[in-house]
């Protein structure tokens, strides 16, 4: 079920869509849903600017998740993680409080064990929870070219597919609810792992008098080059602060979710633990708001090199 789902029939009557979490990723996603002609409701969090921009384009503003759930058939969440998802869904003014059947599409990077339990709890209330975490960048969110990993029953995934297509270039159905979030954690384990590896390698190189430019000239174009490497090195070499707008504290959160998953599964993940610790040290030193490529500076400074 990768492509070829008939979106024509699905588009005949466009469902009311709600969107909660207009952050770096969310605002671009919501704008694309609106642009493709879906009736959209939005809600402000801390920053009113994205809400006002979307309302100017025809979105409707609501005050609470409950109010959104009262007139939306599909609600997309793009919040930080599991605690925020639970607050939005189960809070006193949450989605579930509206007491009507709808589908929640959770695009955040959450703890899979929390997702599967929440899905079971919600199913008893007639609410479907689908996990649809994202890969790529805020620029891709704005361009509508995100990668989406979606977990859920086939018929339920089919129902939300046309909404996902508004902001996704590639959609992969990973299996039942929870598998999307698990795959996303594995995806982030690889990328955060690379970030920790690059940072440590650069620091060791610097100790030996190897400039980052020399390091890069050996790796770039070779077998260890990749898109994530190139993004990371846009900060290392060009000092582009927008190279990868993903906070170190979020990398730490994701690696902590992976650790929880490994603990629940009763397995050893020594490399995951090491990567988590690299991020934990940066967060503990007050660098959590820095973006991921800036981990290279922290590791260098911690070892007395510039």
- Catalytic positions are 184
Taking residue 130's Cβ as centre, other Cβ atoms within 10 Å add up to 24
Q: Report in angstroms the alpha-carbon separations of 222 from 160, 215, 216, 252, 268.
A: 40, 12, 10, 29, 32
| Interhelix angle 112-123/248-265, nearest 10 degrees | 70
Element spanning 277, H or E: helix 270-284
Q: Report in angstroms the alpha-carbon separations of 239 from 14, 45, 296.
A: 44, 31, 12
Q: What are phi and psi of 36, to 5 degrees?
A: -85, 10
Cβ–Cβ under 8 Å, residues 251 and 187:
no
Rounded CA separation 279/267 (Å) = 21
């Amino acid at each position: 079920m990768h492509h070829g789902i008939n979106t024509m029939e699905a588009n005949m009557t466009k469902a009311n869509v709600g969107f909660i979490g207009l952050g770096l990723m969310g605002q671009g996603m919501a704008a694309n849903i609106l642009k493709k002609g879906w009736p959209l409701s939005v809600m402000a969090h801390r920053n009113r600017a994205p809400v006002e921009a979307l309302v100017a384009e025809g979105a409707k503003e609501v005050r609470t998740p409950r109010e959104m759930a009262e007139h939306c058939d599909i609600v997309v969440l793009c919040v930080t993680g599991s605690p925020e998802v639970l607050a939005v869904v189960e809070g006193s003014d949450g989605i579930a409080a509206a007491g009507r059947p709808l589908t929640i599409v959770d695009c955040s990077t959450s703890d899979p064990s929390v997702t599967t339990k929440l899905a079971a709890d919600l199913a008893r209330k007639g609410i479907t929870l689908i996990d649809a975490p994202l890969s790529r960048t805020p620029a891709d969110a704005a361009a509508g070219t995100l990668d989406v990993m979606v977990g859920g029953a086939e018929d339920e995934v089919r129902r939300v597919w046309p909404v996902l297509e508004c902001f996704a270039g590639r959609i992969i159905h990973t299996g039942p609810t929870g598998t999307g979030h698990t795959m996303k954690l594995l995806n982030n384990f690889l990328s955060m792992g690379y970030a920790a590896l690059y940072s440590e390698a650069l620091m060791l190189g610097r100790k030996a008098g190897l400039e980052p430019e020399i390091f890069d000239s050996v790796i770039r174009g070779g077998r260890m080059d990749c898109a994530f490497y190139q993004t990371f090195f846009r900060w290392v070499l060009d000092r582009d602060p927008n190279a990868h707008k993903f906070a170190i504290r979020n990398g730490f959160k994701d690696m902590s979710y992976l650790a929880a998953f490994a603990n629940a599964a009763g397995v050893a993940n020594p490399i995951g633990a090491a990567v988590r610790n690299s991020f934990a040290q940066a967060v503990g030193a007050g660098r959590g708001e820095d973006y991921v490529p800036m981990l290279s500076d922290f590791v260098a400074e911690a070892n007395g090199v510039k």
